[in-house]
């Protein structure tokens, strides 16, 4: 492919917009790490992979895996990839949106789940998904009014973790908490004014952690839904922790307690 003004190029670039993703049922995965994991763990959902010649030589494992999985692969000029996405780094995939997994099914048999309640910053959401994956969590839930999981910055920020664990989105926090309890999960809310310090919480039990909005945290109603409101002690002079950092500490603390 050599024409950056081709209709296909315009259609792929349009997937940066939510309306185009919803209309087409497709989304972008940009960069070698995300595409590598998409081809490895979700090849059946990958429609096309695009690489520059240089990228195909630098990342032959992506091209080989895509070919082995019978995914359509295309070599394209650098200017074509740049027009498709300024963040492609020479590698891009178009992926079909998977059908939504019912919330009860997503939580069944889980021991550690992260729930993002009205989290709107895509970088934070993607980083929490990545942290949940690294901590060995079984699922991530994005409540209604949270950023969409297929937002390009969310996808990039997960660094491929989007394809490693189930992600449910769209339910209210009340619905999530009810489903979590039905699945045998204790519900912890992370809040700087929580009653229980992280090191004293009963983290060995199967748990769902609720993390709130970056600017406003969790509402009193949201905190009231939890079995316990847990705080991370601040020993220095910092006012608070970034959402993604706080979520990482909570999830790793639960993972360590559950594996002890």
Q: Looking at residue 64, which CATH number applies to its domain?
A: 3.30.1330.30
Q: By C-alpha distance, which of 27, 32, 25 is closest to 12?
A: 27
**Cβ within 8 Å of residue 104, ≥6 positions away:** 179, 182, 183
* 148-200 residue pLDDT tens: 999 999 999 999 999 999 999 999 999 999 999 999 999 999 998 889 999 99
Query: What are the C-alpha distances in Å from 70 to residues 32, 48, 65, 162, 178?
Result: 18, 10, 9, 21, 41
Q: What mean pLDDT is predicted for residues 40-67?
A: 94
In angstroms, the CA 28 to CA 12 distance is 8
**Residue 195 belongs to domain spanning:** 103-259
Residue at 170 is within a domain: yes
pLDDT over 90 (residue 238)? no
Beta partners for 51? 75, 91
Residue at 2 is within a domain: no
What is the per-residue pLDDT for 91?
97
Q: By C-alpha distance, which of 10, 69, 17, 11 is closest to 44?
A: 69
Q: What is the mean pLDDT of the chain?
A: 94
Q: What mean pLDDT is predicted for residues 86-114?
A: 92
Q: What is the pTM of this model?
A: 0.94
Q: What mean pLDDT is predicted for residues 23-47?
A: 96
Confidence band of 240 (pLDDT split at 50, 70, 90): confident
Is residue 125 domain-shared with residue 83, that is, in the same domain?
Answer: no
Residue at 154 is within a domain: yes
Phi, psi of 50 (to 5 degrees): -120, 135
Residue at 72 is within a domain: yes
Given 61, 96, 131, which residue is the final one in a domain? 96
Given 96, 114, 136, which residue is the final one in a domain? 96
Is residue 151 domain-shared with residue 224, that is, in the same domain?
Answer: yes
Given 64, 96, 128, which residue is the final one in a domain? 96
| CATH classification of the domain holding 205 | 3.40.1280.10
Confidence band of 99 (pLDDT split at 50, 70, 90): confident
């Amino acid at each position: 492919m050599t024409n950056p003004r081709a209709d296909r190029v315009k259609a792929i670039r349009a997937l940066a917009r939510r309306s185009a993703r919803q209309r087409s049922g497709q989304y972008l995965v940009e960069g070698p790490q995300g595409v590598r994991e998409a081809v490895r763990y979700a090849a059946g959902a990958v429609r096309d992979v695009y690489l520059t010649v240089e990228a195909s030589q630098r990342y032959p494992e992506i091209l080989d895996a895509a070919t082995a999985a019978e995914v359509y692969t295309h070599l394209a000029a650098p200017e074509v990839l740049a027009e498709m996405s300024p963040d492609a780094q020479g590698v891009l995939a178009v992926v079909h949106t998977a059908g939504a997994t019912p919330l009860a099914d997503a939580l069944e048999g889980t021991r550690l789940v992260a729930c993002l309640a009205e989290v709107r910053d895509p970088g934070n959401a993607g980083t929490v998904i990545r942290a949940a994956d690294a901590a060995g969590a079984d699922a991530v839930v994005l409540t209604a009014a949270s950023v969409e999981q297929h937002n390009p910055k969310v996808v990039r920020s997960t660094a491929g973790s989007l394809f490693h664990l189930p992600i449910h989105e769209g339910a209210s926090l009340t619905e999530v908490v009810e489903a979590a309890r039905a699945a045998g999960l204790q519900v912890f809310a992370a809040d700087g004014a929580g009653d229980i310090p992280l090191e004293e919480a009963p983290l060995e039990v199967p748990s769902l952690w609720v993390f709130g909005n970056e600017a406003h945290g969790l509402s009193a109603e949201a905190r009231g839904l939890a079995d316990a409101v847990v705080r991370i002690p601040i020993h220095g002079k910092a006012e608070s922790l970034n959402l993604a950092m706080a979520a990482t500490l909570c999830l790793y603390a639960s993972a360590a307690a559950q594996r002890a």
